[in-house]
A and B are shown apart, each in its own frame.
Chain A
Amino acid sequence: MGVTLLLDVVIGGLIMGGLYALIAVGLSLQYGVARVLNVSHGEFIMLGAFATYSLYTLFGINPFLSLVISGPIVFIIGFLIHRALFQRLRSSSPSMVAFEGNSLLAAFGLLFIIQNIVLLFYGPSIKGYTYLSNAVNLFEALFAVNRLVALLFAVVIGVTFYLFLVRTRLGKAIRAAAQDMNTAQLMGVDIHKVLGLCFALGAFMAGLAGSLLSMMFEITPQMGLPYTIIAIIAVVLGGLGNILGSLVGGLILGLIGNVVMYIHPGLSLIAYYIIFLLLLLIRPTGILGK
């Protein structure tokens, strides 16, 4: 019984944590590196979820296969948005503070735009589909197959991204830009390209996470905001500008959320906020920060 409950909580937490980690890394790229506190991050998750949902229900495309389609679509949307909106704001804003404020507002406008476009096409009703929802028994603890596969995918995506960040030249440029944008530019990093890429990659991660989420939960055009909040908390938890820190932050949040869910469902979001506010007050540089 004890082992079952423990497995239930831990694996359940890992599944959510893995997805949160993807979402958080995405926002970390956008906020930590590109300095855009993208409150419409959750809307990109929603876009990924709706893309996968549509591909599956209309064309019968395997949800896992649809990652290959939904990810790049969201990536391109993200890249174009950064080009048209945030890059302009960057060059027109007099200071970094002004840019952060302006881009936050613009992102809030974007939230409305994306959400309402999807709302116009799909309507406000809750949507969902079942795929691989049969249960697996792990020491008496029951898990739907799709959740375990989603966890696997999240791990694979996370590891791939980690390798990209650590092993490639572009990854190095991103890390350099995260540390110090001006110096990175002086060292010959094409900062516009890197920032645009970071924003698009952030959207890409959100889209992938959304695709995976659509297998596990019902989806609505308004599903995004809670995920955005979770991502913001995870990013602050991991330390601003620390991309790998937000990966860890996401995992921790998933675990905590699942534990709180067992104590009292409905309190998990409140628990997140309290952790978040306390963290900001006590250690604004994050648990892994300097």
Chain B
Amino acid sequence: MDSEGRAIPKKFLSLVLLFLILILFAAAPRYVLPYHIISLTSIFMYITLTVSWAVFSGPTQYMSLASAAFFGIGIYISAILGKVLFLPVVIGLGGFISFLLALLVGLSSLRLKGMYFTIFTFGLSELIRHFVRWWEVNQTGTVGRWVVHVNPKVVYYVMLVIVLMTLAVSYMIKRSKFGLALRSIGQSEEAADHIGINVNAVKIVIFAISTFFMGAAGAIMATRWTYIDPSIAFNPLFSFMPVLMAIFGGIGNIYGQILGAAVLTFLADVLLTKFPYYYMLLYGIIMVIVVLFLPNGIIGLKEKILKLWTADRMRLYANT
């Protein structure tokens, strides 16, 4: 192939493209409607959740359903400390506490494999939800909390920064030796252990790093909802959505993850405004259809079509 000749211009081109997209998003609040800023913020949020979920769960095939726990912790940090601390500190703390919790979870659930890990993480986020509810009812006396309001434009820019950081970290991890280690763990954990990868350390550290962004996202998104309670903050949807979005786009591919999150969030937005009563029903149907017909995601579909297309052309050549 002509990789030598085109490698540099292609890289240069994608950098230019990236830069242009960045400028576009940075300038967006000046030109588009406030409503669209809010939609874009949601899209950034779900891209963050999906990509950071996939950093760990994608290559290792350990399906975590604890995203809601980390996201919710960010939300609660924001609700509790938002009034006393400076916003960037709150966001950083949201990420950091999530990181610490993830270290703990990783340390305790190392022995669990496959489905056991999945139900453990699910049980954990449900435990946290019920515990927080119990605590609020019995100790604070109220179920919900008010969160300080932040200008939607600020939320937008903060979310933009978080999503960019998530993408950068995801990209760096994938390209680094840790990414390779994660993939080999996913293929065969024993073999990875035998070739000298410190399997446990890699798993725990990457898992914890990936949750940092979920916590940070929660901390800033909380300001948008103004009122939160445990069922809003720790909604199991926040655990299931990233998985679905990653599958919908294509788990192994970062463009797939971004695409999956963006398309499904946009779709949810449209459904919610057009059919408020059937919204959840339709979403359930979409979920089932995605799993049933798009197990390799949009990216997989694209490859399939490409393959069919080239096969068609080959046949055409063969005939002529």
List chain B positions with a Cβ less than 8 A from chain A.
Answer: 61, 63, 108-109, 111-112, 114-116, 118-120, 123-124, 126-127, 130-131, 134, 137-138, 240, 243-244, 247, 277-278, 280-281, 283-288, 291-292, 295
A21 CA / B115 CA spacing, docked (Å): 22
Give the contacts of A243-272 with B (CB-CB under 8 A): 266-267, 269-270
Assess whether A281 is interfacial by the CB under 8 Å rule. Answer: yes
Within 8 Å CB of A105, what residues of B? 240, 243-244, 247, 287, 291
Is B284's CB under 8 angstroms from A110's CB?
yes
Is B134's CB under 8 angstroms from A89's CB?
no
Scan A231-251; emit 1 where CB is below 8 A from any B CB, else 0.
Answer: 011001000000000000000
Shortest CB distance B8–A (Å): 37
A171 CA / B124 CA spacing, docked (Å): 35
Is A270's CB under 8 angstroms from B115's CB?
no
10 additional A-B residue pairs with CB within 8 Å, beyond A37-B118, A273-B126: A37-B119, A92-B292, A92-B295, A105-B291, A106-B288, A106-B291, A106-B292, A111-B284, A112-B284, A120-B281
Scan A102-113; emit 1 where CB is below 8 A from any B CB, else 0.
Answer: 111110111111
Is B61's CB under 8 angstroms from A109's CB?
no
Scan A83-124; emit 1 where CB is below 8 A from any B CB, else 0.
Answer: 001001100110001101111111011111101110010000
Within 8 Å CB of B285, what residues of A? 109, 113
Task: Give A40's nearest chain B residue, CB to CB.
Answer: B284
B281: which of A112, A236, A284 is its contact (CB, 8 Å)?
A112
Assess whether A277 is interfacial by the CB under 8 Å rule. Answer: yes
Within 8 Å CB of B138, what residues of A? 266
Assess whether A149 is interfacial by the CB under 8 Å rule. Answer: no
Shortest CB distance B216–A (Å): 26
Given contacts A105-B247, A108-B240, contact A277 B127 (CB under 8 A): yes
Given contacts A116-B278, A281-B108, A281-B109, contact A267 B134 (CB under 8 A): yes
Assess whether A5 is interfacial by the CB under 8 Å rule. Answer: no
Is A100's CB under 8 angstroms from B114's CB?
yes
Is A112's CB under 8 angstroms from B291's CB?
no
A109 CA / B292 CA spacing, docked (Å): 11
Assess whether A280 is interfacial by the CB under 8 Å rule. Answer: yes
8 closest Cβ pairs, A-B complex: A112-B284, A109-B287, A273-B127, A116-B281, A113-B284, A109-B288, A109-B284, A106-B291
A98: which of B130, B137, B295 is its contact (CB, 8 Å)?
B295
A280 CA / B109 CA spacing, docked (Å): 9
Given contacts A113-B285, A116-B281, contact A232 B291 (CB under 8 A): no
